[in-house]
């Protein structure tokens, strides 16, 4: 399967924060040939290991932003709570996929009143999520429950993966299925090589709900060195000045200097820069200090862990669809592989 096919499989998998089962099984299937073991910890992290010795940790989170059913109205409409950070301006009018307890998927629509029946001031108002509803075609609460829908069921806005043009793709959850694919491909490309350390790759749960999975995994793995792989904020589009664009598409992977969860050690930043320059890999910096990543939780465990972040630039993250250039993803994979080949130098 080529890179596009792998990204499509990951993107289309259901993996709302706290409900990562489907995407975890996709990843387990992809990495199994390249690791010595894979285990699932009590939180649901998928921890894959190869080799022996001191641990170097890669982390990429499996979860995506989504929703949870918080109420079913007597007339069958659903109410939602957020799982992860959503911009409420863009939620109305989208189609959602709801996963029931049995694993079946039901479709619904986040209802929006047409402008014809709204007052002028109502047309300009952002509707809070708590006021929105989902129409699943049920005429009563009983009918909704007969569809298998219960309180606590997860949901996500899902439009299928597509290639817009050669090398430019769109799909849901590139934050962080792009990072997951970078980790998977690094394992594949290094599968025939001996490394002077134990490589542990954590595919984390619940990053979008407070970096929870990575915190527990980092304590368990106790790495000397860690690198979080992300899909991050590509904002190079009209209306955003360059000084406020965290990263730009087409310029290679982004090295984090600082964000809201970590100030990366200059030693590790220089190491990533030097590695990219040695290999002729284009790179850029993620402008400080937007967002946060699993590295923020990892670097505070076990008395402190040297940790950094490398990201694939993606436009429109935390929305129903995001986009990326395959060239950025490919360059990110190259830099991760080059970093891992040299990582032993940082363990001395």
pLDDT of 114: 73
What per-residue confidence (pLDDT) applies to 326? 98
Question: Which pLDDT does position 277 carry in this prediction?
Answer: 98
* Catalytic site residue from 207, 208, 230, 301: 207
Mean pLDDT of the chain: 96
Residue 124 is predicted with a pLDDT of 78
Estimate the crossing angle of helix 3-12 against helix 326-342, to 10 degrees: 100
126 confidence band (pLDDT: 50, 70, 90): confident
Does the pLDDT of residue 122 top 70, yes or no?
Answer: no
Global pTM value: 0.96
Q: What is the pLDDT of residue 115?
A: 72
Extents of the domains making up the chain: 3-64+172-347, 66-157
Tens-place pLDDT, residues 194-208 = 999 999 999 999 999
Clarify whether 88 is annotated catalytic: no
β-bridge mates for residue 311, sequence order: 230, 254
Name the CA dihedral angle for 240, 170, 255, 50, rounded to a multiple of 10 degrees.
160
Q: Which CATH class is domain 66-157?
A: mainly beta
Better-predicted residue by pLDDT, 128 or 224 = 224
* φ, ψ (nearest 5 deg) of residue 274: -60, -40
Lowest mean pLDDT among 70-79, 124-133, 303-312, 322-331: 124-133
Phi, psi of 213 (to 5 degrees): -65, -45
Fold observed for domain 3-64+172-347: Aminopeptidase (3.40.630)
């Amino acid at each position: 399967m080529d890179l596009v096919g792998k990204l499509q499989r990951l993107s289309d998998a259901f993996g709302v924060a706290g409900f990562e089962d489907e995407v975890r099984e996709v990843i387990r299937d992809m990495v199994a040939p390249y690791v010595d073991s894979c285990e699932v910890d009590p939180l649901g992290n998928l921890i894959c290991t190869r080799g022996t010795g001191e641990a170097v940790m890669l982390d990429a989170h499996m979860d995506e932003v989504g929703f949870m059913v918080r109420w079913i109205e007597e007339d069958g409409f659903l109410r939602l709570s957020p799982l992860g950070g959503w911009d409420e301006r863009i939620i109305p009018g989208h189609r959602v996929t709801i996963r029931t307890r049995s694993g079946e998927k039901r479709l619904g629509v986040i209802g929006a009143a047409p402008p014809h029946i709204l007052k002028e001031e109502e047309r300009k108002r952002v509707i809070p999520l708590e006021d929105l509803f989902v129409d699943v075609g049920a005429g009563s609460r009983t009918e909704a429950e007969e569809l298998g829908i219960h309180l606590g069921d997860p949901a996500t806005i899902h439009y299928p993966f597509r290639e817009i043009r050669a090398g430019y793709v769109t799909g849901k959850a590139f934050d962080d299925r792009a990072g997951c694919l970078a980790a998977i491909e690094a394992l594949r490309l290094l599968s025939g090589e001996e490394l002077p350390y134990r490589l542990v790759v954590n595919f984390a749960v619940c990053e979008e709900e407070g970096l929870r999975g990575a915190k527990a995994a980092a304590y368990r793995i106790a790495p000397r060195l860690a690198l979080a792989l992300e899909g991050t904020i590509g904002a190079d589009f009209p209306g955003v000045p360059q000084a406020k664009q965290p990263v730009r598409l087409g310029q290679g992977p982004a090295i984090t200097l600082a964000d809201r969860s970590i100030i990366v050690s200059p030693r590790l930043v220089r190491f990533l820069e030097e590695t990219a320059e040695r290999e002729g890999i284009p790179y850029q910096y993620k402008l400080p200090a937007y967002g946060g990543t699993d590295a923020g939780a990892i670097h505070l465990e076990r008395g402190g862990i040297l940790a950094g972040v490398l990201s694939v630039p993606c436009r429109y993250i935390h929305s129903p669809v995001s986009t990326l250039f395959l060239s950025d993803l490919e360059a990110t994979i190259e830099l991760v592989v080059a970093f891992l080949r040299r990582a032993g130098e940082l363990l001395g």
